[in-house]
Structure 1
Amino acid sequence: MQRRWMMLGAILTMLSVAIGAFGAHMLKDKIGASAIATYETGVQYHMIHALALLIVGLTAGQLGASTKLKWAARLLFAGIIIFSGSLYVLSISGIKILGAITPIGGVAFIAGWLLFAMDVWQRGKTSL
């Protein structure tokens, strides 16, 4: 589990930098200011949650894999795809219906962080 999520986190972090650079250099003059702001929000959340996957992988290495950590990683990954992905497509295409999909990714982020916190909390209680 540790290697998989750390590798995916590193790849997704690299992609967030590339996608951000693409937006800054290729899209800035082609889409409006509001669309750029939407795109940048996608990049920001993408980066934060890719780093979170690295943290989950490191935690699994330190504390051992668990069902909660596995689901936390899966939900953070799904959140990147759904939340950031929908914002990327929305900002470039202007398809407004994608705005209805974005909150699903946000819920995945919240659930992933909650599972991560629960896992760490429960393990701390058993080691006392």
Structure 2
Amino acid sequence: MTARLILLAAAVLGALGVGLGAFGAHVFKAHLEATQRLDTFETAVRYQFYHTLALLAVGVLRLVRPELSSLGTVAWLFIGGIIVFSGSLYLLCLTGVTKLGAITPIGGVLFIAGWVLLAVAALRLP
């Protein structure tokens, strides 16, 4: 994945994070409180932002060190983690389908794999 695409993904996911956070805090708050899912929704937004910021850093690093091709994989793992982890929690909160929580850990594994691969890339730096 190119630096340009990584930075574009970070920008889009950051904007979505702000939008979803505002949606949860204002439009959907009463429903989230009634279903006791406000904490779950906030966790989804928080992890989306953590990994969006990490994705932004990976994109900048990819600009500076384009030879680190594994950074493209790191980016895909972070994006996949956001989609699976945060996405499943958003859907759980919106639909009430609790079985969606069963796939959330897969997103967590993608996040962990991304961080581990980022560490490997860092070890390859001179």
Moved runs in structure 1, 4+ residues, more than 6 A? Answer: none
Q: How many residues align?
A: 124
Q: Describe the superposition over 1:14-67 as per-residue Cα deviations: whole angstroms up to 9, x where unpaired.
A: 110000000000111123363111011000000111111111111111111433
> Aligned to 1:97, what secondary structure does the other structure show?
helix
TM-score, structure 1 as length reference: 0.92
> What secondary structure sits across from 1:66 in the alignment?
coil
Contact 1:9 1:50 in 2 (8 A): yes
What is the root-mean-square deviation of aligned Cα atoms in Å?
Answer: 1.1
Question: CA distance change for structure 1 residues 42 and 65 in 2, over 3 Å: closer, same or farther?
Answer: farther
Letter of the 1:13 partner, please give it. Answer: G
Instruction: Report the CA distance between 1:2 and its aligned residue.
Output: 0.8
Counterpart of 2:51 in structure 1 is 49
Task: Give the whole-Å Cα distance in 1 for the aligned partners of 2:67 and 2:106.
Answer: 26
Q: Please report the TM-score for the alignment, with normalisation by the length of structure 2.
A: 0.93
Aligned partner of 1:109 among 102, 108, 111 = 111
Cα shift readout 1:42-93 (whole Å, capped 9, x = no counterpart): 0000011111111111111111143321111000000000000000010121
Query: 1:1-128, aligned counterparts within 5 Å?
Result: 1-32=2-33, 34-123=36-125, 127=126
Alignment-mate amino acid for residue 98 of structure 1: L
